Every structure is written in C-alpha cells, then in structure tokens.
C-alpha cells in the first residue's frame, strides 16, 4: 500500500513553515494591506476560478492539503491521507477540532458536499471528474472513490481548488453559483469575512478558533481594490499597501527601485499564466480555421513581448506553459506572416471590399490589466487591418461585465489570461473538452471548440500515471489544438510580487498569493 501519512509533516509544517526553514519567533498582531486590481464577483472558490476570488477565498476557506515551494504536499484540514495502490481511492483523516467560522464542526460530510459542489459548478470540470463518490464512514474520515487513477489528485485538493464549504449553509437547495452566502461566506480558514464594498475593499479578520494553534498571526487583512495601475504602484511606494502582484513591465521596474520592497517572480510556479486571444468558433467567420490561422499569422508576437512588454514576458506557443514538464515546442509557431494571412483570407472567400475591409470583428479584454490585455487589444486594431480585418475594441467597466459577456459566448474575439493551475488535468483540459462548453461559466470552454480526438487524448492523459506516457499524450494534444487554433496564444505573463521587507514568511509557495497567509507576520512593521 502506498501510504501517505503526514502527521510528521504537520509537525514540520508548524515548526519550520512552508518555506522550509526555521522562522524567527512570530510576532502576533497587525494588519496586512493587499493591493489588488480585481473586483470579486463573490468569495466562493468552489464555484468560481480566478485570482479575484482565490486570494480572499483561500483565507476564508481551508482545503484538505497545502503545498510548499518545492511542490510537496502538507497536511491542512486533513492531518493524513492514504492513496490506494491501485490509485482508485484516497482516504482523508481530518484534523481534530476544526470548526467553521459559525462554530459548527468540519466533518467528512462537508468534504463530500464540497467535492460534489466543485464537480457540478466549477469551470475545471476535469479536475474531479474521476471521483465517483465520497464515502463518509465517520465524521473524521472521507474516502474519495475514483473511477480511474488521478495523477494530480493531491494538487487538486489544495489552494483554491477544493475549498471545504459548510454543508449546513450551502446545502439548502439554492443554486451554489448564485447562493447569497457566496458574498457573505462562512469557511474554516485562518480569517473570517467582515466586509466587502464593491470596487473598494475586502476586510477579513483573524479567526480566533482556527484549527492550527496560534495561527494566524495577523489580526486583519484588507484587500484594497485600486483600478488605476499608477495608483496601485503609488500605494505600495508610500507604504499604504504592503503586498501586491504585478504583470506590467513599467510597474515591475519601478517597484524594483523601492528600498522597502522585495520584488520577486517566486511564488507562481503552479500558476502557468498564459495570455491568449480567444476565438468564438461558433460564430462566422471564426468558425473557419483558415480565418483563425490568418489572424494568428497576422500577429507579431515578438513585437508584443519586446516592444509592448519591455522584454519581460516569455513566448507562449500552445495550451501548456513552457515551464510545465508536459510542454512541447514542436508545434506551428505562427511567426508573423502577413502574406500568408492575406492568402488564407482570400482562400476562405473573404475578398476585400470598400476601404480594403474584408469583415469586422469586436475584441474584448479583461479590464484593469492594461499591458497584458488592453494594450494588446489596441495593438490588434491596426495590425489586423493590414489583413483587411476591421477591429473594434470593446471595453468593459469591470471584471464581472467582461466575464458575463464571455461566459455567455457573446463575443467575437477576446483577450484573456488563463492559468494552467499546476497540472494540465486541472487547468488545461477545461478549455478544450467538448462537454465543458457551458454558458454562464467563465474559464470553461467558452470558445465552443470540440474535437473528439482531443477529448480522447485528454481522457487518457488524465489517468496516466507514467510521466513519460503522459508527456507523449499531451504532445499529440498540443499539436492538434495548435493546428486547429481555437485560441491564438500570445505570451506567458511576467508575474512578480512586491512585498514589504518587514513581512516574514511571505506567500512564496507554488500558489503564491492564492494560498493561506496564516503563517505570515510582521517582523518589522512599517512606521
């Protein structure tokens, strides 16, 4: 039996912290101000993906496991776990005495209910598709029964991926995606919900009954929402904020000059963030692969990375991020070729009309992420005009507006940022599976792309435990989708975190700021 008993790991975790070294004596108290551009729709990661929900959500809800900065799992709500030799069951033993913020105990029934809620509502449909049921032989034991082996099952039980939500609140028959308690959440995480003023701030306070004794160290976390990029930087420079994630090259370079800040690219190893241009393949003329290829050949990715991103972003050539062990670069790279783009559009029957225009398209983009979204969308307007495509850039006032448009498939083209989430079975499959074409669910298969061969390859790769065989399956998958092009992949985001140097144990595990901050404390508080 492949036993995964991590009681010792829990001791090491409590003693040495997730960073893997013995910290100084923690100093309790104080407030952490996180600077964010994101406006959350709500705070329940069981039904919503993305950093807007994940950053506060991982403070509010605990998960069975947590991961360190070396990709190693540690106990969290589960004090131990056991993966069967055949890979068809995972037995979780919950910690003693864990309670939700309303004082009710966390039990195996809550684990089973949470898995079912994620299966039914989360955009990552493949993440727990192998789970047939969850047995609950006693209040402290939950047994996930799998129909097939799941190579990423431990990772899928960490971060914002499997928040344990209270059945006694969410199991009242209301739709989990629109449940009123999503915006007034009750979890078992290190911090409790206090207040949300939309577009302004989120306030969380210390959970005095947290199941890890003495944690969290902070009294309060405030997530300050600032839509203007320059104002976000100024807030950190002035000490009005203490931590924030940045992707804009000018912001990164500016923050690196601040003596009181540490600016690091560590803490995003599991994220795999890719910027892409998504096609609504259900709408003419984008239902024609020749049109999609023409658009991709018209884009000068080197210009975007070097001129628009100051050389800080890296190439993205397909659905899997280059840092993944399952990445292959042996695909069509779509190097800029306007002659080929025009020839493909001619072949597809789109002759130039008045003013040289073949047809018109609208491009959307995620708001408040200027350099990686709006700037590229604006670049597409003159660039695609060279191929006879007239582009209108449609701005959204906030993230929920953009998400509603895209999730309801009410778009032609949209810029997007999508994460790999550590393993393809978690964060990649969702974009390409035929049965994940679901309206109203952002970051599902909003492109309406469907290929049964791709589904078969992902099904095989999602249960293959041999890394080399998985790599071969994913290589074939990448070649097919890069050829059929439901998306035009642009670049890997240059994610950096700016952290006040007075903070000890900053969130630099593989999940970065999308991980619980219970061990973070002020070693040298700002004056």
> Is there a cis peptide before residue 439, judged by omega within 30 degrees of 0?
no
The pLDDT tens digits for 181-200 are 999 999 999 999 999 999 89
Secondary structure in 3-state letters for 42-62 = CCCCCCCCCHHHHHHHHHHCC
Task: Check whether 7 has a pLDDT greater than 80.
Answer: no
Residue with the two structure tokens 């280059």: 322
* Number of residues that this document lists for the chain: 527
Question: Where, residue-wise, is CATH 3.40.190.10 in the chain?
Answer: 3-266+496-522
Residue 107's Cβ-side half-sphere holds a number of Cα atoms within 13 Å equal to: 11
| Burial of residue 213 (number of CB atoms within 10 Å: 0-12, 13-18, 19+) | exposed
DSSP state of 313: S
Q: Where in the chain is the domain with CATH 3.10.105.10?
A: 273-492
Backbone angles phi, psi at 411, to 5 degrees: -155, 160
Which token pair is 197? 């003023």
* pLDDT tens per residue across span 273-290: 999 999 999 999 999 999
Helix ranges (H only) for 71-107 are none
DSSP bridge partners of 421:
none
Cα gap 164→378, rounded to integer Å? 41
159, pLDDT greater than 90: yes
Exposure on the CB side of residue 115, measured as CA atoms within 13 A: 25
Q: Does the domain made of 273-492 have the CATH classification 3.10.105.10?
A: yes
Q: Which two tokens stand for residue 62?
A: 């605990």
**DSSP class of 373:** I
- Percentage of the chain lying above the pLDDT 70 cut: 95
Segment 473-492 shows an average pLDDT of 98
Q: Which residue has the higher pLDDT, 107 or 495?
A: 107
In DSSP notation, 199-257 reads: TTEEEEEE-TT-SSTT----SEEEEEE--SHHHHHHHHHTTS--EEEE--HHHHHHHTT
**pTM to 2 decimals?**
0.84
Is residue 186 within 8 Å of 69, Cβ to Cβ? no
How high is the pLDDT of residue 8? 40
What is the predicted pLDDT for the residue at 18?
A: 52
Q: Which CATH superfamily is domain 3-266+496-522 in?
A: Periplasmic binding protein-like II (3.40.190.10)
Q: pLDDT (tens digit, 9 = 90+) per residue, 347-371? A: 999 999 999 999 999 999 999 889 9
pLDDT at residue 343 above 90? yes
In whole angstroms, how far apart are CA 113 and each of 60, 108, 243, 330? 17, 9, 34, 42
Which one, of 61, 67, 62, 499, lies nearest residue 270 by Cα?
Answer: 67
Residue 368 is predicted with a pLDDT of 81
């Amino acid at each position: 039996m492949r036993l995964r008993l991590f009681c010792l790991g829990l001791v090491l975790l409590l003693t040495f912290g997730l960073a893997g070294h013995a910290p100084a004596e923690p100093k309790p108290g104080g407030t952490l101000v996180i600077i964010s551009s994101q406006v959350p729709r709500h705070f329940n990661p069981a039904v919503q993906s993305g950093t807007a929900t994940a950053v506060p959500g991982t403070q509010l809800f605990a998960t069975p496991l947590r991961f360190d900065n070396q990709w190693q799992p540690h106990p969290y709500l589960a004090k131990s776990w056991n993966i069967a030799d055949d890979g068809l069951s995972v037995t979780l033993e919950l910690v003693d005495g864990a309670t939700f913020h309303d004082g009710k105990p966390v039990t195996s029934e809550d684990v089973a209910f949470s898995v079912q809620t994620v299966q039914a509502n989360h955009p990552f449909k493949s993440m727990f598709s192998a789970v047939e049921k969850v047995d609950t032989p006693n209040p402290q034991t939950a047994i996930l029964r799998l129909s097939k082996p799941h190579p990423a099952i431990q990772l899928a039980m960490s971060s914002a991926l499997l928040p344990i939500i209270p059945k006694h609140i969410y199991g009242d028959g209301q739709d989990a995606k629109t449940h009123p308690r999503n915006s007034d959440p009750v979890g078992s995480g290190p911090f409790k919900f206090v207040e949300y003023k939309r577009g302004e701030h989120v306030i969380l306070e210390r959970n005095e009954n947290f199941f890890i004794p003495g944690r969290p160290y902070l009294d309060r976390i405030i997530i300050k929402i600032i839509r203007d990029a320059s104002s976000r930087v100024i807030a950190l420079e002035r000490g009005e904020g203490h931590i924030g994630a940045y992707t804009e090259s000018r912001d990164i370079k500016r923050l690196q000059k601040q003596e009181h800040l540490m600016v690091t690219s560590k803490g995003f190893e599991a994220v795999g963030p890719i910027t892409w241009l998504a096609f609504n393949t259900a709408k003419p003329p984008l239902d024609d692969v020749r049109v999609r290829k023409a658009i991709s050949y018209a884009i000068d990715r080197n210009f975007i990375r070097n001129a628009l991103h100051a050389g800080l972003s890296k190439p993205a050539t397909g659905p899997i991020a280059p840092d993944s062990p399952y990445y292959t670069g042996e695909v069509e790279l779509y190097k800029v070729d306007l002659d080929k783009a025009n020839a493909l559009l001619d072949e597809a029957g789109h002759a130039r009309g008045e003013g040289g225009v073949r047809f018109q398209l609208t491009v959307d983009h995620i708001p408040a992420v200027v350099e990686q979204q709006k700037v590229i969308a604006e670049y597409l307007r003159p660039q695609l005009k060279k191929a006879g495509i007239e582009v209108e850039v449609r701005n959204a006032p906030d993230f929920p507006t953009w998400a509603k448009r895209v999730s309801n498939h009410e778009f032609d083209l949209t810029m997007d940022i999508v994460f790999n989430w550590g393993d393809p079975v978690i964060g990649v499959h969702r974009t390409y599976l035929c049965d994940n074409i679901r309206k109203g669910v952002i970051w599902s298969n909003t492109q309406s792309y469907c290929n049964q061969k791709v589904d078969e390859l992902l099904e095989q790769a999602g249960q293959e435990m041999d890394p080399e065989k998985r790599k071969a399956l994913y290589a074939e998958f990448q070649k097919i989708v890069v050829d059929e092009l439901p998306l035009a992949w642009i670049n890997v985001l240059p994610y950096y975190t700016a952290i006040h140097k007075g903070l000890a144990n900053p969130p630099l595990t593989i999940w970065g700021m999308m991980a619980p901050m219970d061990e973070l404390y002020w070693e040298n508080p700002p004056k």
